[in-house]
Amino acid sequence: MIIDNLILKGIKSLNNNKIPNSKLDAELLLSSVIKKDRLFSALNGRTEINKKNISKYLKLVKRRRKKEPIAYILKKKEFWKSSFFVNDNVLIPRPDTEVILEDIKDRFRYRSKLNILDIGTGSGCILLSILKEFANFKGTGIDRSQKAINVAKYNSISLYNRERVKFIHSNIDNYKFGNYDVIVSNPPYIKSYMIKYLSEDIKRYEPRIALDGGITGLDIIKKIIKKAKKILKLGGYLYLEIAEDQAKDVKKILQLSNFRIVKILDDYGNNTRCIISTNLK
């Protein structure tokens, strides 16, 4: 079967299961099988694909038909300026989280050194992207999942940041080390009862531990703020990713904990995404 016909077969199969972006997904899956980029497929549509690769491709299409995220199938996800290894032990990086990187890049562009803590680091995408932008910054990422820490360590090696970063298996309650200039976190913030209303690809495949923020969605956020009071330097910055409807509650918790609200960031869809504060002690 030639490339053009195989891609069409994949698109039709995905469309039958109402998979969004079926054309893009079909092309990406084939690229991963034949180890060529999408441009190659576009320019060489009459090229024959051998039976072994056809079989591999159709198996990947079948996985995607079941709503498995394309990032998990391909085991990679683009974030900021790098490609990160991901699997179902970590949350898939989202473009909306990049607003944190944009602010940090601008706010600290004249700082020569910073010590950063990433709480709930997952794949390590936030911390490693910061370190790639700033050659003299160093950082620590913690996560309560050892499997997530393993993914972050793998990414640190592939992105050549391992000399300036360490990843530690620890939950926020037990972590007592360091004195940080900046703390960043994309914590679990979805209300427990709302998990069942998420799309199939999220609720069936992404780790619940990285999504579930308890009854109010604020359980982990409260713990992070409490811990930040102890390990964030005076005047240090705390970046918290939050749900769109949590800004008012999180602002109140921060202010009661003697943090000053610096800025609230909207994501690319103009939804509230991050709250930035400083530690006043």
Question: Does the pLDDT at position 229 exceed 80?
Answer: yes
Question: Does the pLDDT at position 119 exceed 90?
Answer: yes
Structural domain includes residue 193: yes
Q: What is the pLDDT of residue 115?
A: 97
Range of the domain at 89: 80-279
Structural domain includes residue 133: yes
Structural domain includes residue 58: yes
Q: For the packed helices 22-34 and 3-16, what is the interaxial angle rounded to 10 degrees? A: 130
Structural domain includes residue 72: no
- Do 30 and 97 share a domain, yes or no? no
- Do 122 and 37 share a domain, yes or no? no
* Assigned token pair, 118: 């990433």
In this prediction, residue 203 has a pLDDT band, given cuts at 50, 70 and 90, of very high
Q: What is the pLDDT of residues 242-271, one digit of tens each?
A: 999 999 999 999 999 999 999 999 999 999
Structural domain includes residue 228: yes
- Do 55 and 106 share a domain, yes or no? no
In this prediction, residue 177 has a pLDDT band, given cuts at 50, 70 and 90, of confident
Pick the closest to residue 194 from 240, 241, 243 (CA basis).
Answer: 243
37 φ, ψ to 5°? -80, 170
Query: How many other CB atoms sit within 10 Å of the CB of residue 261?
Result: 14
What are the strands, taking DSSP E only, across 216-281? 232-241, 259-266, 272-279
The pLDDT of 92-117, averaged and rounded, is 96
Q: What is the pLDDT of residue 92?
A: 98
What gap in Å lies between CA 184 and CA 137, rounded to an integer? Answer: 14
CATH no. for residue 37? 1.10.8.10
Give bridge partners of residue 139 from the DSSP assignment. 116, 165
The pLDDT of 221-235, averaged and rounded, is 96
Pick the closest to residue 143 from 102, 213, 89, 179 (CA basis).
Answer: 89
The pLDDT of 165-173, averaged and rounded, is 96
- Tally the domains of the chain: 2
Whether pTM > 0.85 for this model: the answer is yes
Give the DSSP H/E element, type plus range, for residue 153.
helix 146-158
Give bridge partners of residue 260 from the DSSP assignment. 278
- Do 104 and 203 share a domain, yes or no? yes
Structural domain includes residue 75: no
- Do 189 and 270 share a domain, yes or no? yes
Q: What is the pLDDT of residues 23-49, one digit of tens each?
A: 999 999 999 999 999 999 999 999 999
- Do 40 and 94 share a domain, yes or no? no
- Do 61 and 85 share a domain, yes or no? no
- Do 107 and 46 share a domain, yes or no? no
What gap in Å lies between CA 179 and CA 181, rounded to an integer? Answer: 7
Structural domain includes residue 71: no
- Do 16 and 94 share a domain, yes or no? no
Single-letter code of the amino acid located at 127: L
In this prediction, residue 161 has a pLDDT band, given cuts at 50, 70 and 90, of confident
Question: Does the pLDDT at position 153 exceed 80?
Answer: yes
In this prediction, residue 162 has a pLDDT band, given cuts at 50, 70 and 90, of confident
Helices (H) and strands (E) in the chain, counts: 11, 9
In this prediction, residue 159 has a pLDDT band, given cuts at 50, 70 and 90, of confident
In this prediction, residue 281 has a pLDDT band, given cuts at 50, 70 and 90, of confident
End-of-domain residue from the set 12, 44, 66 = 66
- Do 49 and 181 share a domain, yes or no? no
Structural domain includes residue 73: no
C-alpha gyration radius of the chain = 21
- Do 127 and 219 share a domain, yes or no? yes
CATH no. for residue 119? 3.40.50.150
Q: What share of the chain is helix, strand, coil (3-state, %, to 5)?
A: 45, 20, 35
The pLDDT of 126-140, averaged and rounded, is 95
- Do 46 and 102 share a domain, yes or no? no
Q: What's the DSSP call for residue 48?
A: B
